[in-house]
Amino acid sequence: MDLDVFDKSPEMKGILVQLYEANKLYSKSKKSKGPARIELSKAIAELFHLELSAREKELVADVLISLSRQAEKEMRRALAEKLSKIETVPLSLILHLANDEISIAAPILKNSRVLNDLDLLYIVKSKGADYWQVIATRANLRVEVIDALASTRDIGTAIVLTANERIHMTGFALQILSEMAQGNENLAGSLLKRPEMPASLAFVLYDHVGTALKDYINAFFEKPNAHVDMAVDDILVDFVNSEPLPEFMPDDEMIKRAKEQKRLQFLTTEMMMSAIKDGDIKNFIAMFSVHTDISIQKTHNFLMQACPKGFVIACRAFGIQKNDFSRIFLLTHKMRSRDRMVDHKILIELLEYFDTIRPEKALRIVSRTNGDLVV
């Protein structure tokens, strides 16, 4: 290479000579290439600390492209990692690395701000899913790139894209991803957590997802139609008409005492938990019913259900904490089964459901039923 162009920049000329020497050392290294790789990386880094003219940048890019073609994979990967974070790198060099095999291209595709939208769109059209999925992790993706990634209809890319919290999803992309999510529970779960996800699309997914995601939709999206009412009915209908067990039903005196405690502002969660810890289920039911204004029979029916999601909603609506709900579930187990051990799978399911139900949503459900929550 003719270095005369750098006669006015002796520092630049010296670094290029150092670069060639470092590359020669790297090429001749037969065992450990680590020290040589460090020297070569150092020379490259020093190049980009200089103020270069456009012509000098292109010449440097030509040198590094030539070196990268001869370099082993490990060196190319190190070069891509270093250059992905430098904004003054010539586009020709960045594009060269971005089109290398994915293990080398990945840091460029993910981080380099030298790539513009047209560059990214070209890579999306010319490369495969491995490249799409890395591009989908970029911060601040523009509309055209997001739509192009969604249009690939690649499940892996869709999941990565929906998990990227640093972008704003477009309506076009949400529509495509919603269609894809109807056959993929993982994608549906990721998509439903997007803040841009409209209720209309969420409820389109409703009929295509499992119970946990149905519960999530009911908890986090406003009802655009009758889906929510149907879902609440599904939870409650199994035990609305169940016959109360006399041994667990509080008497009039217990109810009267609970009302007086509420009037005097003594009826606290701590008092209710004290009753349940003492095994006094009748008094607990009386106090919970008075505290929440949910009828005695409905409170009783909550606790009788094998998987009492209605009771979860009631607890969330009235500020019962998750650890207290867990204790109540365990200490009222004898109401549901006298001869079986506690099914911890059900408890885990209920605790996960507890986390998906927002208190304000639970309170709306309770209010909608005029305090007579039959969940």
What is the pLDDT at residue 357?
Answer: 80
Who wins on pLDDT, 146 or 49? Answer: 146
pLDDT per residue as tens digits for the range 142-182: 999 999 999 999 999 999 999 999 999 998 899 999 999 99
What is the pLDDT at residue 189?
Answer: 94
pLDDT per residue as tens digits for the range 263-311: 888 888 888 998 888 889 999 999 999 998 888 888 888 788 777 788 8
Print the SS3 string covering the chain: CCCHHHCCCHHHHHHHHHHHHHHHHHHHCCCCCHHHHHHHHHHHHHHCCCCCCHHHHHHHHHHHHHHHHHCCHHHHHHHHHHHCCCCCCCHHHHHHHHCCCHHHHHHHHHHCCCCCHHHHHHHHHHCCHHHHHHHCCCCCCCHHHHHHHHHCCCHHHHHHHHHCCCCCCCHHHHHHHHHHHCCCHHHHHHHHCCCCCCHHHHHHHHHHCCHHHHHHHHHHCCCCCCHHHHHHHHHHCCCCCCCCCHHHCCCHHHHHHHHHHHHCCCCCHHHHHHHHHCCCHHHHHHHHHHHHCCCHHHHHHHHHCCCCHHHHHHHHHCCCCHHHHHHHHHHCHHHHCCCCCCCHHHHHHHHHHHHHCCHHHHHHHHHHCCCCCCC
pTM, two decimals, is 0.56
What is the pLDDT at residue 25?
Answer: 62
